[in-house]
Amino acid sequence: MAKRLLLIGTVALLATVVASVAVAQKNVDLEFWVGASVSEAGPPPDNWRAYQIVRDRLGINWKIVLLPSTLGDQDTKINAAAAANNLPDLFQVNRDAWYKLAKAGLLAPVDSLLTAMPVRTMTHYDDVVARKMVTLNKVMYGLPEPGQMPMTDGFVVRKDWLDKLGLKEPKNLDEFMTVAKAFTERDPDGNGKADTYGFGAYLESSGLQQAGLGLRFEWVFGAFGVAGTWNTQDAKSFGLNARKSEFLKALQFIKGMVDAKIMDPDWNILKKDEYRARWKQGRWGMMHENFAALSTVANYKDFDKNFPNGLWVAPPPPVGPEGKSAENVLLKNVRVQAISQRAAKAGKLGAIAKLLEWMAHDEGYILLGFGYEGEHFKRDKNGNITVEGIPAEKQWTAKAQQPFTQLRNLVFINTDVELKARYVPFKTNNGRLQDPLAYWNAFRSYPYTDSTGAAIINPPANAADFVRYYSENVMKFVVGQQPLDEKSWTDWVAGLDKLGAKELEAAAKAALTEAGFLD
Amino acid sequence: MARRFGARYEVGFQVAVDAFLALVLAVVAVPLLRVIVTSVAPLSPEGIPGFAFLVTPWRWTFEAYRQLLGHRSFLNAAYISVVVTIGGTALNLVLTMLLAYALSVRTLPGRPFFSFLILVPFLFNPGLIPTYLVVTRLGLIDKLWAIILPTAINITNTFIMRNFFAALPEELKEAARMDGAGDWHIVLRIIPPLARPIILTIGLYYAVGHWNEFFAPILYLNNAKLQPLPVLLRNILLAANLNEYVEYDAYSAAPVQALKAASVIITTLPMALIYPWIQRYFTKGTLAGGIKG
């Protein structure tokens, strides 16, 4: 009897071992190269619950590699891997690099995957424009994850300075200059020193879509009706805004700002962090800023400490001579997740779809987006994310917990629940309630120049030279290194044509017309 | 009269030399001082960190150092950097010495051919992709060897060392051979004590290169636990900089400029401490290797 029991036990044990080995052998290995949400925090820990769930329930051995911190380094790593035919199964890639890889045939078509992940397709990939951004020859070669929130940047003014000087929010460009001069010359901070300026900015262009001075000056171009590199209003007027006479007028207005010395003189050499350090130190009273960089508790605290009674308000952007205005251009922004042809050939598409779909359901979404429920966050009766009752160092927003949510960019889709959890209202030093989303809502209520179609304009081979020529000469115009008049401006446009502007416009127009963006 | 003129000339010359050297010192010291001051400057409405050259005792903070040194991955990253620097430099020196010695032996059959052969990759750098392919095919991805082996031998350093070895008295090697020493014995036992200046000099070159290694790790090392110090410091700086995407109070306790300056100090300090220790060999080593070809 004992021998029989021993035999049965041994057989059962062996069966379990064989079964578990078989399950392990069935598991698919997937390697994802993803951008870190917080570059310094490192990947999720080895004992992360998501690994275990994915392994045991989805049959996937999931390996996560965090890409380098900058886009340039990411491109280098991906291009090197592509050249060695060593691309991972799924990877995040910027659109210019994606375009080259897709043309080289290194990416797998993903159209068929969409039906295999219905929830994710509905919540992540239902945007027609976003899909067009990852489509080449009518085939989707990438998954367009919802990127940064739209309309996040706008024109803001120091209300405490306006009140001190008895001024009102500027409604048009003339009033802007009046207020800017007062902020520069009338000591709005009352420290007895001539150390303030009307306006602060830095150069933040983004390639072909927003060449030249970049988004911190788009409100000026918007006031003249020429925000953004491209005019995508209709087929008839489609082309580079630089060809329009209003563009020259906008440049002349900005040159007037420089000549009047109402701008921080370092504006064209400031880096982003220096720019943000300066407004926190009270250097200027008007600027164009990102709502989160301006108003979240982490970003506001230095300004709050220095100026407890300081207050930035978000009025409508000043209107131009013909009554036009725009906070910025409205560009489509997606994070492209591409799947390698190598992964497709290895038969991994099904497993990739299964994993991505799991992330779009509540379990995966919550786990990747906010960490462990009950340990890092709680949900209130309305389903909102809250950290009430969670020790500070354990909260999902705490520094130590960032590895648990490093992949939140793969699940966040900018829902109300997410935004409320991410941008929490707080009290400033003087007891005022500051709500970051109030700034965002204000920005969103003002006009933007729609340029979403520009997102699908593919870069020409000489894109870098084109953008460099464009941007360098715009800078020379406004700082007075070359004259800014009808002739010099016409010569500059002719220079753009020599670099293939007309061919680029024709190709862009054809692409936008085919995609249904132009009538 | 002539003697007095000569004395005046000497004094004048000395003053000019001193003034010139003081200027050179200022050119070196002022940026360094600025970096040090910036690294301890607080964010305040009165002054932008890094734009003051003097720090007052009541307005300084070690917050930036606290953030960098207190990072939970700092010790691991520093450990990786030390391992790569010590291990890589040791390998560099052994391989460079062996190659340099072989090329310094005039009776080596095919010596001009071998010299030409190693010059080819020096003149025609294979570039990123071929190197990546070699590293991949050797199975070195995610191994520290990936950042040590591809730079195991530097051709310039090899030629400097070869020249140094070639300048050593032939009689010494002859005497060793007469005592029964072979080439291995000569290169490992006889030459190192004589070549200490060149070994330390070139060792410093190699060590600085490994200590500052940034590009190869981000290319070849996918495992975050293998990332060395420069990669970690860059990640910290970028996290502090991307403040529109970081919606919580995690990374901005120190100004970004202070973090940058502190990271410069932290990465420079080990090499700056080592340098004086081998400085007395440095000039001798570089010149001795560079004069005779």
Bridge partner list, A319 = A172
Nearest to A273 among B136, B232, B256 (CB): B256
Beta strands A449-450 and A329-330, pairing class: parallel
pLDDT greater than 60 at residue A23:
no
pLDDT band for A197, please (50, 70, 90 cuts).
very high
User: Average of pLDDT values for A482-509?
Assistant: 94
pLDDT greater than 50 at residue B48:
no
Q: What pLDDT does A126 receive?
A: 92
Q: What pLDDT does A516 receive?
A: 76
Give residue for tokens 């992940």: A117
Measured in residues, chain A has a length of 519
Q: Is B84 helix (H, G, I), strand (E, B) or coil?
A: helix
Q: Is A494 helix (H, G, I), strand (E, B) or coil?
A: helix
Residue among B269, B211, B216 nearest B83 (CA): B211
- C-alpha distances in angstroms, A505 versus A329, A370, B236? 19, 44, 41
Q: Which residue of A has its CA nearest to B227?
A: A42
Chain A within 8 Å of B54 (Cβ-Cβ)?
Answer: no
Q: Do the Cβ atoms of A397 and B136 come within 8 Å?
A: no
Residue numbers in B near A280 (CB within 8 A) = 43
User: Average of pLDDT values for A125-144?
Assistant: 91
Q: Is B272 helix (H, G, I), strand (E, B) or coil?
A: helix
Nearest CA of chain B to the CA of A372: how many Å?
18
Nearest CA of chain A to the CA of B211: how many Å?
19
How confident is the prediction for chain A on average, in pLDDT? 91
Nearest CA of chain A to the CA of B217: how many Å?
10
Q: Which residue of A has its CA nearest to B217?
A: A68
User: Average of pLDDT values for A62-80?
Assistant: 91
Q: Which residue has the higher pLDDT, A237 or A256?
A: A256
Nearest CA of chain B to the CA of A27: how many Å?
21
Chain A within 8 Å of B41 (Cβ-Cβ)?
Answer: no
Residue numbers in A near B74 (CB within 8 A) = none
pLDDT band for A80, please (50, 70, 90 cuts).
very high
Which residue intervals of A272-385 are DSSP H helices?
272-280, 291-295, 297-306, 341-345, 349-360, 362-370
Q: Do the Cβ atoms of B45 and A281 come within 8 Å?
A: yes
Bridge partner list, A73 = none
**Dihedral sign computed on CA atoms, order A192, A197, A203, A206:** positive
pLDDT band for B67, please (50, 70, 90 cuts).
confident
- Helix or strand (DSSP H, E) at A440: helix A436-444
Of A388-392, B122-126, B191-195, the range with the lowest mean pLDDT is B122-126
Cβ-in-10-Å burial (0-12, 13-18, 19+) of A214 comes to: middle
User: Average of pLDDT values for A249-262?
Assistant: 97
Q: Do the Cβ atoms of B44 and A281 come within 8 Å?
A: yes
Residue numbers in B near A436 (CB within 8 A) = 247
CB A98 within 8 A of CB A142: yes
Chain A within 8 Å of B132 (Cβ-Cβ)?
Answer: yes
Q: What pLDDT does B167 receive?
A: 86
Q: Which residue has the higher pLDDT, A22 or B71?
A: B71
Give residue for tokens 């100026």: A307
Of A370-384, B192-206, B236-250, B252-266, the range with the lowest mean pLDDT is B236-250
Tokens of A478: 């406004």
Bridge partner list, A492 = none
Q: Which residue has the higher pLDDT, A243 or B108?
A: A243
pLDDT greater than 70 at residue B12:
yes
End-to-end CA distance of chain A: 86
Cα–Cα dist A454/A493, whole Å: 20
Each residue's pLDDT tens digit, A301-334: 889 988 999 999 999 999 999 999 999 998 877 8
Nearest to B43 among A77, A83, A302 (CB): A302
Cα–Cα dist A102/A340, whole Å: 10
pLDDT band for A465, please (50, 70, 90 cuts).
very high
* DSSP 8-state symbol, A210: B
pLDDT greater than 80 at residue A510:
yes
Cα–Cα dist B66/B251, whole Å: 12
Q: Which residue has the higher pLDDT, A215 or A21?
A: A215
Q: Give one DSSP letter per residue of B240-267, joined into a string.
A: HH-TTT--SSSS-SS-HHHHHHHHHHHH
Bridge partner list, B98 = none
pLDDT greater than 90 at residue B234:
no
Q: Which residue has the higher pLDDT, A453 or B151?
A: B151
CB B244 within 8 A of CB A292: yes
Site from A39, A78, A158, A283 to mutate, B interface, most B CB atoms within 10 angstroms: A39
User: Average of pLDDT values for A181-191?
Assistant: 95
Half-sphere exposure for A122 (CA within 13 Å, toward CB): 6
Chain A within 8 Å of B64 (Cβ-Cβ)?
Answer: no
Cα–Cα dist A136/A139, whole Å: 5
Bridge partner list, A273 = none
User: Average of pLDDT values for B88-103?
Assistant: 94
End-to-end CA distance of chain B: 47
Cα–Cα dist B164/B158, whole Å: 10
User: Average of pLDDT values for A370-385?
Assistant: 93
Q: Is B19 helix (H, G, I), strand (E, B) or coil?
A: helix
Sheet holding A60-66, edge to edge: A60-66, A28-34, A90-93, A334-339, A143-146
Nearest CA of chain B to the CA of A376: how many Å?
14
Nearest to B222 among A65, A293, A296 (CB): A65
Residue numbers in A near B256 (CB within 8 A) = 273, 277
- Backbone dihedral region for residue A415 (phi beyond 0: left; psi -120 to 50: alpha; all else: beta): beta
Cα–Cα dist B96/B201, whole Å: 13
Nearest CA of chain A to the CA of B232: how many Å?
7
Nearest to B224 among A42, A298, A399 (CB): A42
Nearest CA of chain A to the CA of B197: how many Å?
38
pLDDT greater than 80 at residue B288:
no
- Helix or strand (DSSP H, E) at A144: strand A143-146
ipTM of the complex: 0.79
Q: Give one DSSP letter per residue of A378-432, joined into a string.
A: EE-TTS-EE-TTS-GGGSTTSGGGGGGGTTGGGT----HHHHHHHS--EE-TTS-
Cβ count within 10 A of residue B225: 13
Bridge partner list, B59 = none
Nearest to B132 among A36, A83, A290 (CB): A83
Question: Going by C-beta distance under 8 Å and a sequence separation of 6 or more, which residues neighbour residue B79?
Answer: none
Each residue's pLDDT tens digit, B109-120: 999 899 888 888
Of A15-29, B59-73, B157-171, B173-187, the range with the lowest mean pLDDT is A15-29
Q: What pLDDT does A10 receive?
A: 55
Q: Which CATH number fits domain A171-330+448-515: 3.30.590.10, 3.30.9.10, 3.40.190.10, 3.90.330.10?
A: 3.40.190.10
Q: Which residue of A has its CA nearest to B136?
A: A84
Q: Do the Cβ atoms of A298 and B251 come within 8 Å?
A: yes
Q: What pLDDT does B40 receive?
A: 84
Q: Do the Cβ atoms of B250 and A298 come within 8 Å?
A: yes
Q: Do the Cβ atoms of B246 and A298 come within 8 Å?
A: yes
pLDDT greater than 90 at residue A494:
yes
pLDDT band for B292, please (50, 70, 90 cuts).
very low
Cα–Cα dist A12/A347, whole Å: 33
Torsion angle, alpha carbons of A259, A262, A267, A272, to 10: -160
pLDDT band for A4, please (50, 70, 90 cuts).
low
Nearest CA of chain A to the CA of B49: how many Å?
9
Residue numbers in A near B43 (CB within 8 A) = 277, 280-281, 302
How confident is the prediction for chain B on average, in pLDDT? 83
Q: Which residue of A has its CA nearest to B219?
A: A77
pTM: 0.81
Q: What pLDDT does A518 receive?
A: 80
Chain A within 8 Å of B253 (Cβ-Cβ)?
Answer: no
Question: Going by C-beta distance under 8 Å and a sequence separation of 6 or more, which residues neighbour residue B121?
Answer: B155
> Is the domain A2-149+336-370 a CATH 2.60.120.260 member?
no
Residue among A260, A184, A206, A243 nearest A478 (CA): A260
Residue numbers in A near B232 (CB within 8 A) = 40
Residue among B108, B227, B21 nearest A65 (CA): B227
E strands of A160-307, at which residues? 197-200, 230-231, 239-240, 284-290
Residue numbers in B near A43 (CB within 8 A) = 224
pLDDT band for B247, please (50, 70, 90 cuts).
low
Q: In chain A, which residues fall in CATH 3.40.190.10?
A: 2-149+336-370, 171-330+448-515
**Dihedral sign computed on CA atoms, order B232, B235, B241, B242:** negative
Q: Which residue of A has its CA nearest to B139?
A: A86
**Dihedral sign computed on CA atoms, order B257, B263, B266, B270:** negative
Bridge partner list, A476 = none
Nearest to B235 among A39, A301, A423 (CB): A39
pLDDT greater than 50 at residue A517:
yes
Q: Which residue has the higher pLDDT, A100 or B260?
A: A100
